Amino acid sequence: MTIYLDENKFNDLTKSPLRIKVLESLAIKGKLSKSMVESLFSKMHYYPDISNAFDNLLQNSLIEGAGKKVGRGRPEVFYRITDEGLALIIYKYHHDPKKFWSLLTGFCYHRDEQVSLDRVDEFYSLFVNKHLKYPSGYNYFFQLDLFSKMSDKWIQDNAKNKNKISLEQKVIETLSMYPAIALNELVKRIKEPRQEKVIKVLDRYTMKKLHYTDTYDTDAQYLDLMHHCIVTVGHTAKGVETYELSLFGIIIAMTLVRYHEMGRIGSLFYNGILLQDYYNKIASNYKYALPLIFGKWYLLKTHLRT
């Protein structure tokens, strides 16, 4: 269901900064009552004003009831922000990416029901189209759901045979251990006597043999595109082609290790390495690919004590 934004509600909301603050609080903190918001605002606003703000937002369908707590005296009524309420403050009032992600993360975390990736994508598109310069020049879309499908299918097709390690799995694991290596070295480490078989795998996982189409409007087309983004091609100073994993390939490699640890697949090509050591090796090899995670890997482990 597409979110429709009402310009009249924009104008009505603009008349009261308190209403905007209430919406933000409900997005970030989840269900709140009027008295909870009064406490949250540290008495900066009087209860009657807060109550009027809630009533206006409820009337405009920017918030909705979220249950009651019955005790002594009057029951405490809770409210939560609606999809339209979140879309409105994202589109109209917040151009700061940090604030956007704070609002969206809180909204998703506190919902009773799971927020779909399609809905997250819609909020993201609202933000991008409104606040980023020249947004129409780029094709922004969330790839998580499609990548999950591609990853699951890759595991099913290439790593479910417990009696045999596929050539595809050998390629992924070897590139996780030895990034930016040439074809002859890759073939040697895999111990595959027929080089053309390795080339065939690389052709499926790189952009070299991709059949280009200027429209990618089906899942099948996107999945095919993602398959060709598992391995990236580079060159040495002498012009020799080298191969290493993309971010997609890195996640597949780490999934292989994790699934092996869980007993969901058979052997690894590089068997006998502990999960932690395998992850340490990938993080060390690809720290430039995810500098804020792999580049700070040991610092993260120190602080997380793992």
pLDDT tens digits, one per residue of 11-50: 777 778 898 899 999 998 899 999 999 988 877 888 899 9
Tell me which fold the domain 144-304 belongs to.
Arc Repressor Mutant, subunit A (1.10.10)
244 φ, ψ to 5°?
A: -155, 170
pLDDT band at 149 (very low <50, low <70, confident <90, very high): confident
> In 10 A of CB 134, how many CB atoms?
6
Query: What is the β-pairing status of strands 76-81 and 63-69?
Result: antiparallel
Which CATH number does 7-135 carry?
Answer: 1.10.10.10
Q: What is the mean pLDDT of residues 49-56?
A: 91
Q: Quote the CA–CA distance of 237 and 2 in Å, as a whole number.
A: 51
pLDDT at 135 exceeding the cut of 50: no
The pLDDT > 90 percentage for the chain reads: 38
Q: Quote the CA–CA distance of 234 and 186 in Å, as a whole number.
A: 14
Q: What is the DSSP letter of 213?
A: -
Q: What's the pLDDT at 140? A: 40
Q: Mean pLDDT for the chain?
A: 84
Joined together, the tokens standing for residue 122 give 């819609």
Q: Full-prediction pTM beyond 0.85?
A: no
pLDDT band at 210 (very low <50, low <70, confident <90, very high): low
Q: Edge-to-edge, what's the strand order for the sheet holding 76-81? A: 32-33, 76-81, 63-69
pLDDT band at 219 (very low <50, low <70, confident <90, very high): low
CATH 1.10.10.10, the chain: domain bounds: 7-135
Convert the pLDDT of each residue in 230-258 to its tens digit: 999 999 988 999 999 998 999 999 999 99
Q: Quote the CA–CA distance of 244 and 23 in Å, as a whole number.
A: 46
